[in-house]
Amino acid sequence: MRSPRSVKSAGLLSCALLMVAAFTITDRADSTQAAPPVSIAQQLAVPAYINPLADPAAWLRLASSAPGSLGFAVVNVINGPDYVPKDEWTSAIKNASASGVKLVGYVDTGYLGTTGQRTRLGSTDPVDWMSQIQHDINAWYQFYGSDLTGIFFDQTQNACGPTGDSNDWAALYRTLSDGVERLHPGAITVLNPGTNVPQCYENAADVIVTFEGSYESYVGDPAAANPYTPLSWTPVDPKKIWHIVYGAPDVAKMSEVVDLSKTRSAGYVYVTDDVLANPYDTVPAADYWSAEQGMVAQVPGEARPPSRPTWLDTVEVYGTSVVLNWVGSRDRSVPVVAYDIYRDGVMIDSVPGDVVTYTAADLTPLTSYVFTVVARDALGTTSAASNSLAVVTDQTYGDPRLPPVGLTAVNTTFTSVQLAWQPAPERNDRRRPGIASYVVEQNGREILRLPGWVTSVTVGGLAPGAFYSMSVYSIDKSGDRTGDSDALAVSTPSLPAGGTVARTTVTSSPTQYTFSADFLVPFAFRRVFIATGNSADPCWSTGSDPQICADYLLENHRLLRYTGSGQSWDWTIVGDVVPTVDGNTYSWLVLAANIGTPANVVAVFNANGYAPNSYCGTGFACTSTGPPLPYE
């Protein structure tokens, strides 16, 4: 669901409607088989790429929906939080939060680099993706703080790991989700693979998008690409699953999709009449939107809440975790689908309704906590809370390892440093627990937490021409942490006088053009605006000095043709043009025939997102506008 900002203005918003709906649960292996109707709490979750300045009315429609109807909203500034808080987003987020909408920040995970997708710094290493992801999570909360209630992870893998017997990728997503919930208790986490996932992902996040696609693909049109495929496992709690469908042109087809989503046990659903290239840049018109809310708000009748869980107690108590169990609730008129776990009055997690045990992790040794459990049935009705259970965590192993050693800067760029270290040599005690994680600190503040097998990572988000103190410590599997490693002084070089984009070149032959430039800092979008001189083509006026009127555009890995009116940012995809990357240098090779075989072209390079908006080119002033890097 990544923001196609090359086509329309972006800003992801997703909302959930916590209402009850009647639907039929069927065998997931064959959705045509009938089954007794069962009522569940279905919710709307609305991916809306809405720029607050471009479409403030859409934000108002979301915020003014029926009281209590919107459960959570995913907000997206520019494929994430950008590098500074924006006034329009601060206002929109604050207003939506004040209206009762829970807000979840968008973070691109790039499939952890497993498909060749690069971080903003140009790496495909999954560990470097983990670093960028955690940087973006921290930025969301730094910029928008208490108005956020979670994180939406986009472009997530749907395979368990690189081999059939590996769960490595699912485990990394679980680590990311756990990290959000450790730092922000009660946070919602959402994964978006956009297709079905194996059961290894069941506990990797609170909600999983298992379908994102067109109306035709969802309803089974044989001519449609990427048809809906049911899960091979059945989540007990429907709130685990979210289906997103675009291109349903009218209320009748929207109703068809919502009815079908009920048979597929999707606790979250969203349908829109908007279409590609960006089907999420607005909320449907008032009549459509009202009807969609009504489809999931069909109250099937009164039901008695489930009975309260009883005998909540501990199975095991450790230094940083507690294993709980309880006697399950008795169903009344509808089944119990989940147990919600509360710690010190904050809901921290849920388990399926057929599970009566839970491990509360990431606790502090020798600390008191109070736990309760609440049963939730298929209608969303909750029981009274179980008995309160006060628990004091145990001490840890008590003999921590020595700090990591050999912390070095392998490579330093204008905005990043690659760190490497080693665990300290073991003392003569093989019983000591293994390393669970490494924590990287910048100027004494935690910025990254990585799995215990990691001993090298690229830290981004630094300022050019600045000084930093880096250190690392480890935490073992009992919860004991070492002291800090020796501090490492890091100095980033200053940018050259030309700014953030340099060494721009355009070379040509009768059949092709090559566009090349150095992008000295990380950007969300690296672009080449191309003017072919064809007066019959509509064109977009750039913000460069001087301006050109571009009828083609290279953006990241795509070639686009301008199809707007000269005022609107509308581009049509011509095809993929993947740049070659050599350090900071990006080069695109474009066949002349793909841009109308012009005799010559004029090109200006542009980049924005996560750095100041920059233009540069032969014959153009190299300019950058916006706050300096980074935002602190």
**pLDDT for res 428:** 62
CA–CA distance, 181 with 186 (Å, rounded to integer): 6
The CATH architecture of the domain made up of 501-625 is Sandwich (2.60)
Spatial separation of the C-alpha atoms in residues 41 and 23, rounded to whole Å: 10
Q: At what angle do helices 168-183 and 126-144 cross, to 10 degrees?
A: 20
**Tokens representing residue 541 in the block:** 């006026």
Closest CA to 240 of 329, 352, 150: 352
| Residue boundaries of the structural domains of the chain | 21-296, 310-392, 405-491, 501-625
List all residues 6 or more positions away from 554 whose beta carbon is below 8 Å from its beta carbon.
515, 527, 528, 530, 560, 577, 588, 590
Say what the pLDDT of residue 33 is: 38
**DSSP label at residue 481:** B
The whole-number mean pLDDT for each consecutive block of 10 residues of the chain, a chain of 632 residues, reads 40 32 35 46 82 91 75 87 94 90 93 94 95 97 93 96 93 96 94 96 95 96 92 92 95 94 91 89 90 75 82 93 94 86 95 95 94 92 95 87 94 96 78 89 96 96 95 92 95 88 94 96 96 93 94 96 90 94 94 93 95 93 88 62
- Provide the CATH number for the domain formed by 405-491 in this structure: 2.60.40.10
pLDDT digits (tens, 9 = 90+) for 15-61: 333 333 333 333 333 333 334 344 677 888 888 778 999 899 998 98
Say what the pLDDT of residue 373 is.
Answer: 97
Report the pLDDT value the prediction gives residue 302, as an integer from 0 to 100: 60
Q: What does 569-608 look like in DSSP terms, one character per residue?
A: --EEEEEE-PPEEETTEEEEEEEGGGGT--S--EEEEEEE
The predicted structure's pLDDT at residue 276? 86
Q: pLDDT digit string (tens) for 510-530?
A: 999 999 999 999 999 999 999
Collapsed DSSP state (helix, strand, coil) of residue 66: coil
SS3 label, residue 277? coil
Query: How many CB atoms sit inside 10 A of residue 294's CB?
Result: 15
- CATH T-level fold of 310-392: Immunoglobulin-like (2.60.40)
- What is the distance between the alpha carbons of residues 77 and 52, in angstroms, rounded to a whole number? 10
Residue 91 · residue 52 · CB < 8 Å: yes
Query: For residue 323, what are the CA distances in angstroms to 315, 316, 479?
Result: 5, 5, 15
CATH number assigned to the domain covering 21-296: 3.20.20
Decide whether 21-296 matches 310-392 in CATH topology.
no
- Facing residues of 360 across strands? 322
Find out whether 226 and 195 touch, Cβ atoms under 8 Å: yes
The whole-angstrom separation of Cα 247 and Cα 576 is 24
Contact 171, 157 (CB under 8 A): no
Each as own residue / partner, the long-range contacts of residues 230-233 (CB below 8 Å, 24 or more positions apart, any chain) are 230/28, 230/29, 230/31, 230/196, 230/264, 231/28, 231/196, 231/197, 232/28, 232/29, 232/196, 232/198, 232/199, 233/28, 233/198, 233/199, 233/202
